[in-house]
Structure 1
Amino acid sequence: MADTDLPEDLARLWRRPTGSGSRMGRPAALDVDRVVRTAVALADRQGLAGVTLPKLGEELGVTGMSLYRYVGSKDELLILMGDTAFATEYIGVDAVESWQEGIQQWARGLWQAYQAHRWLADLPTSGPPRGPNAIAWMDAGLRAMRPLPLDPMTKVGILTLVSGYVNTSARMAQQLEQTWRQSGRIDPAVAAQQYGREMAQLATPDLYPDASQIFSSGTFESNAAPATTTPTAPAEANFIFGLEVLIRGIEATTFLNAAEG
């Protein structure tokens, strides 16, 4: 397929020439890259809600309407921003000794991207990978799973599962952190202990036999996260724990597929 046959939004995503771009005679001082980089920086400072075309135009010294020369819509701008923010610098699956380590490094790279650009967790799902960075992530994940005797679509399904888990974990951690800061609590461990004590009073054995046993046992007192001034450490620990569970599930799937084959 020639570049001229590509949809214009896809051509812009891959930084290929577009017919409308050449007809509009876009100024050399402004292009898609600069628009997107500025939007990413604005989102890093003000969050996704702070990225509006008028604000972006003000950052660039142009009108918001003039930005339609470079991005077809606000939705397209978000896709461009997401592909740029998920930079390939976060990918690290080549210097590993096993597919398990490769998948873990792949997922932790995604986690790092979410920490560097916290608004990424708020991006709406727009469909399968389409941009150059998104395809690079897909390629790296598949490369990590080369040793697995699974069909290609099963591997794609695993990447979808793992990336969805990272997204959910990052979004939940950010929401909990925001609540933690707004409430003025000193430490997440203290909050966990308070939660355990309150539920021990409310969750009675007659209505919640199994849950009440956990609350009354002091589990949240003894196993709460260690004292810290930030919720980041326990959030990452929870993320890694869940990731290890997922990897064990992939191992089990691989074993079952091999047995059935």
Structure 2
Amino acid sequence: MTDETSEPELPRAIALAWGVAANPQRGPKREMSIEKIVDAAIEIADAEGLGAVSMTRVAQALGFTTMSLYRYVTSKDDLVALMAEAGTGLPPEPEDGLAGWRERIRFLFRAQLGVFLRHPWLLDVPIVGSPVTPNSVAWMDALLDAVAEAPVDEGERIGIALLVTGQVRWQGIVERSYNTAAADAGVDAQTIDDTSSRLYEELITAEEFPAMRRAVDAGVFSDPDADPLAFGFERLLDGIAAYLDARAAGTPAPEAPAEPDEPAAVTADKKVREARKQIREAEKALRQARKLERQMLKDARQRLG
């Protein structure tokens, strides 16, 4: 009988990340280690992307058989989780002179963006839940600590931290795409922007796209000093600042927005599906009733005969 009060067993990758997993009992212990396996996998991913990583490829890079790796890491999913943990690393200690939550968040934002640009494959690692490995928890802890003195509750601090991590992840995806396009074309990222600007000049007309044409004519897309991503991040911080000011002034936290009403077409479609289901059930009941009726008539004839 299972003890329902017992602690659940940790997944292998998480146990390895926290250093509480048992070491393998067999294998080339002195020549092989989980650290060497993860380092080899990261080297492949840095050079060729996450899709190039496989247990067989890592084993070949280390000069061992694939089966020998499974004594240390039980699946590719576990390997990817350990790669993400090692590639992410710990957040840097705050620099001296950082004043207030805004500067601390800027500092962590730049640091995490740097991690994504050094290891672009991290952006391809699936998000399967809240952070549960030591380094990922450390980054979240650093963001929460940056707003530790803010006049909000713990749930709101988590919301602010997730807002920042979402923004840095999105910017990492954009910058990675630019870097990849530039590398494939053998040019720098500014050349990609210059090419897009020339295409806008030629293709965008005031008749079809008046708002975009105004931006083109204003030189928005040809200005090498323009940084719309940085602008957007600062406006995100402005929004956080406005919210914190409102909470400090005593404004209560807003209630979660109600779920929007379903469009009439969706509601009608659900009603149609439910009606069809009821019809199928009624037809089934009718078939069963007729089958029972035929059986009863057959039995009656046999008795009378």
- How would you bin the TM-score normalised by the shorter chain? 0.7 to 0.9
Alignment of 1:225 with 2:224, yes or no, is yes
How far off its partner does 1:137 sit? 1.0
Residue of structure 1 aligned with 2:151, choices 135, 149, 152: 149
Cα distance in 1, alignment partners of residues 187 and 35 from structure 2 = 41
Cα distance in 1, alignment partners of residues 188 and 139 from structure 2 = 38
CA contact (8 A) 1:47 1:119 kept: yes
Within a 5 Å distance, the mapping from 1:236-255 to structure 2 comes to: 237-255=227-245
Paired position in structure 2 for 1:127: 129
Paired position in structure 2 for 1:256: 246
Paired position in structure 2 for 1:62: 64
Paired position in structure 2 for 1:73: 75
CA contact (8 A) 1:42 1:51 kept: yes
Residue of structure 2 aligned with 1:44, choices 20, 39, 46: 46
Residue of structure 2 aligned with 1:13, choices 17, 42, 46: 17
Cα distance in 2, alignment partners of residues 239 and 109 from structure 1 = 16
Gaps (5+ residues) in structure 1?
227-233
Residue by residue over 1:139-169, the C-alpha shift from the partner in whole angstroms, topping out at 9 and shown as x without a partner, is 1111111111111122112222211211121
Paired position in structure 1 for 2:271: none
Specify the structure having the higher radius of gyration (Cα). 2
Cα distance in 2, alignment partners of residues 144 and 178 from structure 1 = 33
CA contact (8 A) 1:48 1:119 kept: yes
> Considering only aligned residues, what root-mean-square deviation do their CA atoms show, in Å?
2.7
The residue type paired with residue 245 of structure 1 is R
Cα distance in 2, alignment partners of residues 69 and 3 from structure 1 = 25
Using structure 2 for the length normalisation, give the TM-score: 0.71
Q: Which moved more, 1:69-78 or 1:198-207?
A: 198-207
How far off its partner does 1:243 sit? 2.6
Q: Which moved more, 1:135-144 or 1:2-11?
A: 2-11
Gaps (5+ residues) in structure 2?
253-305
Cα distance in 1, alignment partners of residues 122 and 54 from structure 2 = 16
How far off its partner does 1:99 sit? 0.8
Cα distance in 1, alignment partners of residues 229 and 212 from structure 2 = 23
Q: Secondary structure at the match of 1:195?
A: helix
CA contact (8 A) 1:3 1:16 kept: no
Residue by residue over 1:183-208, the C-alpha shift from the partner in whole angstroms, topping out at 9 and shown as x without a partner, is 355662x5444434433443333332
Q: Secondary structure at the match of 1:260?
A: coil
The residue type paired with residue 144 of structure 2 is L
